[in-house]
């Protein structure tokens, strides 16, 4: 019979992908069936996700993939965290709001007046970022939008619903909301109340690896075949970490896309005041694992800089830019990449220069120096977070695994190894899609075993590249 294959719908903050994984002799052959831009739309001063266009692109690429690949058994979605759509009687009421929209800034204090940040941490284990669902729901409640809705579906669950007709909340994505009890993995009534949200608004939580049955007739017709729909680690970070061949104590991970998530995987959440004040958050992983990590800057500063240079002087070739950055030998400043000034869209190179000037530090001049300054600073922040996450869990850092787009950046990997003083293992760059596919394959009975067994398949699929600390 044909090799079984699985489709990952992997939606990132800047682009979406449909990736087909075919299982063959204990490894996954991955193929990108399509890639499309994820372009937020601002209307009336509010930034939205264009979910209909994302859905349409995903279905179109899935249909083309089905034509080329007859062995497709199932499909599963993963996305970024925290965002959601509001529904009433099965229909979406409005376009989901983008987490970078500033409507939640005024909600943080209002919510904290009902439940303190330290209490949220003790229950949900999440660091209080203004993007978190708890503040977004409070904003919707203050505008009367919650009253109109009977269901809120988190971003991946929204696509899962359109695919399958099933309304669920997958656990890894639920863990990004600040509304889920980190120990029990269930919604917390007190936190929901603090967001002025009725407990019935959010569907029941299901664990990653849950089969939801066949796709709807509408979807089957659109893509030209009948497939199963699976809920995997629906949070992209959980799927990315699932495919990291981590072994033993002292392993830290860096999942580097637009964001940089740096931390360790444990059997229990870490809900201490020390981890809270160190800025670490707890999120759910696969098979009941817990991810203790710092949620910070990733490639966003570099991609924002490139965006500006391209508007000013035309196309920028990333590889030549990185090569030029690698040859910079002037000592540059290390900037605090998590400073709020770098979080919003804008003239990143100018902000970096100003940040350095204000502190009497040498300013990077030109594209190569600016890129080098960003990469060195990012490597330093990853190294610090990796060391801190192992220290918070009583381990000694022995190695770092980096996955996602950042793992393709050799300069970043070298700098990370040098600054952390431990070897860095880079890859897979499409770790999120791989993790999605591995968990799907197991849910469909085509793979079996523990998370370690799935990771062995990941290691056979993409051999990590080693960078020595020099």
Name the CA radius of gyration of the chain, rounded. Answer: 21
CA dihedral 277, 278, 279, 281 (to 10 degrees): -100
| Closest of 238, 156, 234, 243 to residue 429, by C-alpha | 243
CA-based angle 465:469:470, to the nearest 5? Answer: 120
Q: Does 236 bind ligand LFR (CB under 6 A)?
A: yes
The contact pattern for ligand LFR, residues 40-79, with x = CB under 6 A and - = no contact, is ----------------------------------------
Q: Does 253 bind ligand LFR (CB under 6 A)?
A: no
| 235 vs 442, beta carbon nearer ligand LFR | 235
CA dihedral 274, 278, 279, 282 (to 10 degrees): -50
Taking a C-beta distance cutoff of 8 angstroms, is the pair 379, 419 a contact?
Answer: yes
State the minimum distance, in angstroms, from the CB of residue 104 to ligand LFR: 13
State the minimum distance, in angstroms, from the CB of residue 105 to ligand LFR: 16
Q: Does 241 bind ligand LFR (CB under 6 A)?
A: no
DSSP-derived 3-state class of residue 98: coil
| 4 vs 263, beta carbon nearer ligand LFR | 263
State the minimum distance, in angstroms, from the CB of residue 78 to ligand LFR: 9
- Token pair, residue 336, equals 């605090």
| 57 vs 239, beta carbon nearer ligand LFR | 239
State the minimum distance, in angstroms, from the CB of residue 96 to ligand LFR: 12
> Out of 169, 261, 332, 400, which residue is the one contacting ligand LFR (CB under 6 A)?
261
The contact pattern for ligand LFR, residues 9-38, with x = CB under 6 A and - = no contact, is ----x-------------------------
The contact pattern for ligand LFR, residues 164-183, with x = CB under 6 A and - = no contact, is --------------------
The Cα–Cα gap between 23 and 30 comes to: 9
Active-site hit among 10, 83, 101, 236: 236
DSSP 36-61: EE---EEETTEEE--HHHHHHHHHHH
Q: Does 295 bind ligand LFR (CB under 6 A)?
A: yes
Specify whether 83 is catalytic: no
Taking a C-beta distance cutoff of 8 angstroms, is the pair 210, 231 a contact?
Answer: yes
Q: Does 82 bind ligand LFR (CB under 6 A)?
A: yes
Q: Does 237 bind ligand LFR (CB under 6 A)?
A: yes
The Cα–Cα gap between 291 and 293 comes to: 6
| Closest of 283, 288, 171, 289 to residue 231, by C-alpha | 171
| 275 vs 295, beta carbon nearer ligand LFR | 295
> Out of 6, 99, 280, 355, which residue is the one contacting ligand LFR (CB under 6 A)?
99
Q: Does 81 bind ligand LFR (CB under 6 A)?
A: yes
As a three-state string, the secondary structure of 176-200 is CCCCECCCCCCECHHHHHHCCCCHH
Q: Does 259 bind ligand LFR (CB under 6 A)?
A: yes
Question: Could you give the residue numbers annotated as active site?
Answer: 236
Residues in the site for ligand LFR, rule: CB under 6 A? Answer: 13, 80-82, 99, 235-237, 257, 259, 261, 295
């Amino acid at each position: 019979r044909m090799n079984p294959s699985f489709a990952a719908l992997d939606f990132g903050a800047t682009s979406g992908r449909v990736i087909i994984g075919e299982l063959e002799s204990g490894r996954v052959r991955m193929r990108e069936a399509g890639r499309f831009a994820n372009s937020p739309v601002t209307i009336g001063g509010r930034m939205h996700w264009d979910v209909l266009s994302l859905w349409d692109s995903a279905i179109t690429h899935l249909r083309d993939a089905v034509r080329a690949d007859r062995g497709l058994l199932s499909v599963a979605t993963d996305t970024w965290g925290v965002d959601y759509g509001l529904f009433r009687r099965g229909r979406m009421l409005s376009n989901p709001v983008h987490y970078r929209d500033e409507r939640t800034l005024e909600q943080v204090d209002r919510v904290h007046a009902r439940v303190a940040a330290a209490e949220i941490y003790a229950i949900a284990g999440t660091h209080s970022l203004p993007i978190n669902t708890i503040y977004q729901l409070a904003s919707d409640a203050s505008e009367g939008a919650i009253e109109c809705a009977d269901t809120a579906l988190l971003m991946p669950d929204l696509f899962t619903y359109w695919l399958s007709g099933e309304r669920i909340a997958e656990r890894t994505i639920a863990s990004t909301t600040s509304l889920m009890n980190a120990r029990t993995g269930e919604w917390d009534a007190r936190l929901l109340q603090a967001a002025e949200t009725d407990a019935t608004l959010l569907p029941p939580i299901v664990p990653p690896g849950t089969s939801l049955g066949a796709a709807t007739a509408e979807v089957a017709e659109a893509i030209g075949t009948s497939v199963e729909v699976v809920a995997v680690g629906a949070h992209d970070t959980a799927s990315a970490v699932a495919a990291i061949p981590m072994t033993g104590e002292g392993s830290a991970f860096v999942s580097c896309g637009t964001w940089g998530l740096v931390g360790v995987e444990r059997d229990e959440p870490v809900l201490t005041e020390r981890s809270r004040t160190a800025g670490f958050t707890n999120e759910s992983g696969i098979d009941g694992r817990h991810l203790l990590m710092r949620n910070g800057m990733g490639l966003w500063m570099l991609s924002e800089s490139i965006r500006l240079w391209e508007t000013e002087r035309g196309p920028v070739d990333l590889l030549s830019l990185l090569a030029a950055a690698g040859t910079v030998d002037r000592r540059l400043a290390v900037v605090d990449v998590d400073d709020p000034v770098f979080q919003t869209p804008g003239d990143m190179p100018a902000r970096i220069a100003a940040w350095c000037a204000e502190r009497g530090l040498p300013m990077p001049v030109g594209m190569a120096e600016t890129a080098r300054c960003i990469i060195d600073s990012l490597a330093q922040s990853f190294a610090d977070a990796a060391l801190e996450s192992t220290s918070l869990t009583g381990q000694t850092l022995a190695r770092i695994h980096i996955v996602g787009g950042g793992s393709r950046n050799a300069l970043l990997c070298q700098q990370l190894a040098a600054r952390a003083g431990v070897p860095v293992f880079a890859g897979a760059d499409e770790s999120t899609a791989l993790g999605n596919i591995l968990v799907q394959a197991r849910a469909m009975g085509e793979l079996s075993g523990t998370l370690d067994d799935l990771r062995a398949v990941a290691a056979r699929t993409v051999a990590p590249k080693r960078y020595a600390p020099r």
